Each structure stands twice: as structure tokens, then as C-alpha cells.
Amino acid sequence: MAQRHFISDNASGIHPQVLQAIAAANTGHQPAYGQDDMTIRAEDLFRRHFGADTICFFTLTGTAANIIALQSVVHSFEAIICADCAHLHRDECGAPEKFMGCKLLTAATDNGKITPATITPLLRDTHIIHRAQPKVVSLAQCTEWGTVYTPEELKTLSDFCHEHRLLLHMDGARLSNAAAALELSLKEITTDCGVDMLSFGGSKNGLMNAEAVLFFDPELATHTAFYRKQAMQLAAKMRFIAAQFVALLDGDLWRDNAAHANQMARLLAKEIGNDVEIVMPVTTNAIFARIPADCVEPLQQHYQFSLWNSHESIVRWMTSFDTSEHDVRTFAESIREQMNSLTASH
């Protein structure tokens, strides 16, 4: 059996049911660019999950979903507030700045979560003409540290944003993992909490290059179709992206995949919890651990994973919908062996 990696939930392949759905959609001709029956079906499903006013646009990458969502609502003189560890800020190669010409204002966090208290200083003195004007707060659910906002935290944040005339965008590249961890529906941690726009992730949960931008107030999406086209994300054969979302959202596949990935992370944490320091609570499908610097490279020769913070020797291990218990136990054994051989050599 092919080896599983722990580098990212993007390293896994396509879920067999999703692949089957792509093959089943491969019959006859259909209108291109999202005018096909499958896209209409997927849009209905998004409305079923998130509410009747939901408008959606499919994209090929999560970066594009974030940019297209945000670009729809900002002018270049406005600013987007996000966590200092946000994918938007650290891992999108300056795409927000390139496409929107906007400033990102970052709030410091210890665990990936932003709060009204950390946003407040960024709103000071913004009436001044020389300052970029905050327009949107963008948070990630789950966060880049695998932590999860509770519905109460989200509601507090959205109330705060709306009181300050800010919109709330959620980067939900791993929203399904958060919903599975909280045992709530997708709606209960988005629309019901006052989120205005969502980037909904598919690729990390068993789909192939399929993400969606959702707006819960249609007025915010007035220009989105044009921004998506300019951003080269209007896929001609949209039906194959739509077919994947139908497979994911028509039943419980979205939750089953995410819950399984989360469970495998908990298992790994349990297996190695006595041997390594886990630096963040394991709630979803990521484990952040501090391991001796000398262990990183030898382990990476057998398993791919990220050295998240080389300065503090923190690594990130991620599980996926197809990570098995056997994968986890074998990996845990390698970690222990590596740690023991280091102790023995000292």
C-alpha cells in the first residue's frame, strides 16, 4: 500500500466516491462555465447547508477563494484584518496585495484565534485620511493552529464586526473539520453566527481542486462573477467541480471524512503524547509538537511533514480522510524510535 504522509491534508488523493461522481458526470455535452445541471444541483445543496440566501462561486484553489471573496467587498484604500499566522497573510505569496492592492493588518495570536480585544487596537484613529480603512475581518475556522472557534466566540466576533461596520469573512479551508470537531452543522458555525462570506474548502477533505466562495448576503456578490473571471478561476468544465461538491454535500461524506481525519489526529496524539511535547490542543486534524531538532531530518527521510517553526523546533503533523490507524501507529513507532535513538546516542 502506498505510504501516507503527514505533511498536509492536501497530500491525500481523491475520495473514491468523489472520483466516481466525476466519472458519472462524464457523459454527453453540457453548457460550460457553470451553466450546467450539476452546478445548479451543487448550488442547491449549498443553499440547503448554509441557508436560502447563499450565493456560491466555485474556484480551483483556496487562495483564489479567499481573494475572490475579499476582492468582492474591498476597495484598494481599505484594509483586511487577520491573524498574524493567517494563510492569507503568510502563505498566499502576496496575492491579496497583488489582486486587491489592499493592506493587511495583522492581530497577534497565541493559538490562531483573533478576538475583539486584539482587533480593537487596529481600529484606532482610522478616521484619519492617511490610514488604510479597515473593512473586513478574516478569520480561519479551523485556524492554522488547528484550533476551533466556538459558536459563542464567532457570534461575539461577528457582533463586534457589525457594530464597527466591518464584514466578517471566514477562511473555511477546513470548515468541515471544525464542524465535525464541534459536532455541529456547517450552518451553525457560519450563517447562524453572523459570518458574511465564506471560503469553503473541498480539496483538503477528499475533493480534487475544488473550493467554493459563499456569500450569505447576495448584495455583497454583485461583482464577484467578474472578479472570478479576471482571476482566471472560471472553469470551463465546471460540472466536474460541481459533481464533487454534490458527492460531498448530498449525504454525510463531508462530515465522515473530516471526523475520520480528526480522529486519526487524536489517535496520533494519544500514541506519542508521553514521548513528545504537544504544544497546541489537538481538536481537529493537525498536531503541533516540539521535537528535538536532531530528530526532524532523520524522521523526514521516511515521512513527509512540515517543520512549522524551525526556531522553536515545532513540527506539524496532519492527518487526512484516508489516514488509517495502521499509518498512525507505524508513524508513532518511528517517532518513538527516533527519540530513543537520540537519547541513546547522548
Residue 177 or 338 with smaller CB distance to ligand PLP: 177
Residue 63 or 158 with smaller CB distance to ligand PLP: 63
Q: How far is the CB of 342 from ligand PLP (least distance, A)?
A: 30
Name the percent of the chain in helix, strand, coil, to the closest 5: 45, 15, 40
Residue 52 or 93 with smaller CB distance to ligand PLP: 93
Q: How far is the CB of 340 from ligand PLP (least distance, A)?
A: 32
Residue 140 or 253 with smaller CB distance to ligand PLP: 140
Residue 45 or 208 with smaller CB distance to ligand PLP: 208
Kindly state the DSSP code that residue 2 receives in the 8-state scheme. P
Distance CA 86, CA 92 (A): 9
Q: Kindly give, in sequence order, each residue whose CB lies less than 8 Å from that of residue 101, ignoring residues fewer than 6 positions away.
A: 76
Residue matched to cell numbers 447562524: 192
Per DSSP bridges, beta strands 133-140 and 197-201 are: unpaired
Q: How far is the CB of 292 from ligand PLP (least distance, A)?
A: 26
Cβ(14)–Cβ(206) below 8 Å: yes
Picking from 58, 89, 96, 314, the residue whose alpha carbon sits closest to that of residue 208 is 58
Residue 203 or 283 with smaller CB distance to ligand PLP: 203
Residue 62 or 339 with smaller CB distance to ligand PLP: 62
Cβ(83)–Cβ(139) below 8 Å: yes
Binding site for ligand PLP (CB under 6 A): 61-63, 87, 140, 144, 171, 173, 203
Picking from 327, 162, 321, 184, the residue whose alpha carbon sits closest to that of residue 247 is 321
Residue matched to cell numbers 449525504: 251
Residue 13 or 292 with smaller CB distance to ligand PLP: 13
Q: How many CB atoms lie within 10 A of CB 146?
A: 25
Q: How far is the CB of 344 from ligand PLP (least distance, A)?
A: 37
Q: HSE, CB side, 13 Å, CA atoms: give it for residue 336.
A: 14
Residue 65 or 74 with smaller CB distance to ligand PLP: 65
Q: 137: buried, middle or exposed (CB in 10 Å: 19+, 13-18, 0-12)?
A: buried
Cβ(292)–Cβ(339) below 8 Å: yes
Alpha helix (H) ranges present in the chain? 16-24, 37-50, 62-71, 87-90, 95-100, 116-123, 151-163, 175-182, 224-230, 239-249, 253-272, 293-300, 325-345
Q: Which residues pair with 265 in a beta bridge?
A: none
